[in-house]
């Protein structure tokens, strides 16, 4: 069993599955083996299969905390938020140490727009550890989603007091204050890029801020510098990589655009800068490049529609616009005004 656990730590998931399958062939009801198999499957993004393993482990032992933790994680990653909340509650009731399960519970409640309950989930853990950085950060993100920006800023400030180089907080704080203090917001993004020069979130956020500051040419330069080395960018938010827990609750108005991975975010920002410069043909090429890999991303379709309107192609533009609201009836146009 220890060997299989080490394989997960070493990211040797396929080997782990082979070893565990051999054990389960002899002992099909072995709960710990089922949990390890589920964890390996979850790491391989085979969430439905992992859920089957965890559920079988629960049938064998209804008090298996690790199985419920696995269920909560997989349900959240499948965007099945209510089952994830129920599994996390059970894990907490059975004695889970709290941090991960409270994060999952808070994340899912946020996605269901139950913001007060989400804040309570994070506050519950903060009673144990008032300066826990990731919990404070996630609470701040929930408060942003609830438009309680002053309280969110207090959370972000407390994170940075404890860890001045907390990358996600620097980016989120910069985004939060970008409308009222653009130079200070730019400073936060630059601090983030000093820590990690190839962080996609920081590059994207800086480029968008430069566009708002009427520095679209510099925004294009920022994007083009970032795109010169796609291999490095591919490390960040790459397709198929399990979503880290702390990223999963970030709303669009804080950092990320939908589900855009790695360089697609940068290409999108470049397109927006080119649109601002009224270079509509090149902007459209950027949005089309994004849409090849992500044909159903509402933000890309909306931006593409705006280019097509400017290029006097109203029929194609309207098709993109209609598709945007078919995919996301609550799509917030104000977040993407060019």
3-class SS string, 122-171: HHHHHCCCCCCHHHHHHHHHHHHHCCCHHHHHHHHHHHHHHCCCCHHHHH
Average pLDDT estimate for 145-169 = 95
**Predicted pLDDT at 6:** 85
User: Which domains, ranges and CATH numbers included, belong to the chain?
Assistant: 1-96 (1.25.40.10)
CA-nearest of 313, 319, 281 to 301 is 319
Secondary structure letter of residue 333 according to DSSP: G
Assess whether pLDDT exceeds 60 at residue 250: no
pTM for this model (two decimals): 0.79
80: which DSSP letter? -
Q: Which among 171, 187, 184, 176 is positioned nearest to 237, based on CA atoms?
A: 171
Long-range CB pairs of 103-108, under 8 A, 24+ apart, other chains included: 103/134, 103/135, 103/138, 103/245, 103/246, 104/72, 104/73, 104/76, 104/245, 105/72, 106/138, 106/139, 106/142, 106/249, 107/76, 107/138, 107/245, 107/248, 107/249, 108/76, 108/81, 108/82, 108/84
Residue 244 DSSP label: P
Q: Is 170:205 a contact under the CB 8 Å cutoff?
A: no
pLDDT at 252 over 50: no
What local confidence, expressed as pLDDT, does residue 257 receive? 42
For range 312-317, the mean pLDDT? 96
pLDDT band at 221 (very low <50, low <70, confident <90, very high): very high
- pLDDT of 3 > 90? The answer is no
> Does residue 175 or residue 3 have the better pLDDT?
175
Closest CA to 104 of 74, 128, 131: 74
Give the whole-number percent of the chain exceeding pLDDT 90: 71
Q: Is the pLDDT of residue 115 over 60?
A: yes
| pLDDT value of residue 232 | 52
Most confident of 22-36, 218-232, 274-288: 274-288
CA distance 4 to 12: 9
| CA-CA-CA-CA torsion sign (94, 97, 98, 100) | negative
For residues 115 and 236, the model is more confident at 115
Confidence category of residue 261, pLDDT binned at 50, 70, 90: low
> What is the predicted pLDDT for the residue at 239?
34
């Amino acid at each position: 069993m220890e060997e299989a656990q080490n394989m997960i730590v070493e990211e040797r998931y396929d080997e782990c599955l082979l070893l565990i399958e051999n054990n389960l062939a002899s002992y099909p009801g072995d709960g710990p083996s089922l949990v390890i198999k589920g964890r390996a499957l979850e790491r391989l993004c085979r969430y439905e299969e992992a859920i089957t393993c965890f559920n079988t482990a629960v049938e064998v032992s209804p008090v298996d905390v690790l199985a419920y933790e696995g269920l909560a994680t997989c349900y959240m990653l499948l965007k099945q938020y209510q089952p994830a909340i129920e599994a996390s509650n059970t894990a907490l009731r059975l004695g889970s140490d709290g941090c991960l399960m409270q994060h999952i519970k808070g994340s899912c409640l946020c996605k269901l727009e139950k913001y007060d309950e989400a804040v309570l989930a994070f506050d519950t853990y903060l009673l144990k550890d008032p300066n826990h950085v990731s919990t404070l950060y996630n609470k701040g993100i929930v408060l942003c989603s609830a438009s309680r920006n002053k309280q969110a800023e207090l959370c972000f400030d407390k994170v940075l007091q404890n860890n001045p180089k907390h990358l996600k907080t620097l980016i989120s704080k910069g985004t939060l204050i970008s409308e009222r203090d653009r130079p200070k917001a730019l400073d936060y993004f630059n601090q983030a890029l000093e820590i990690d020069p190839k962080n996609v979130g920081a590059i994207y956020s800086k480029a968008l801020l430069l566009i708002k500051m009427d520095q679209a040419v510099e925004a294009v330069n920022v994007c083009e510098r970032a795109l010169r080395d796609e291999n490095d960018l591919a490390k960040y938010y790459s397709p198929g990589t399990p979503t880290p827990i702390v990223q999963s609750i970030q709303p669009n108005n804080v950092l990320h655009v939908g589900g855009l991975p790695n360089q697609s975010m940068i290409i999108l920002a470049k397109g927006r800068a080119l649109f601002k410069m009224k270079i509509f043909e090149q902007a459209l090429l950027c949005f089309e490049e994004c849409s090849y890999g992500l044909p159903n991303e509402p933000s890309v379709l909306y931006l593409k529609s705006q280019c097509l309107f400017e290029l006097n192609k109203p029929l194609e533009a309207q098709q993109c616009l209609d598709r945007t609201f078919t995919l996301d009836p609550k799509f917030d146009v104000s977040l993407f005004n060019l």
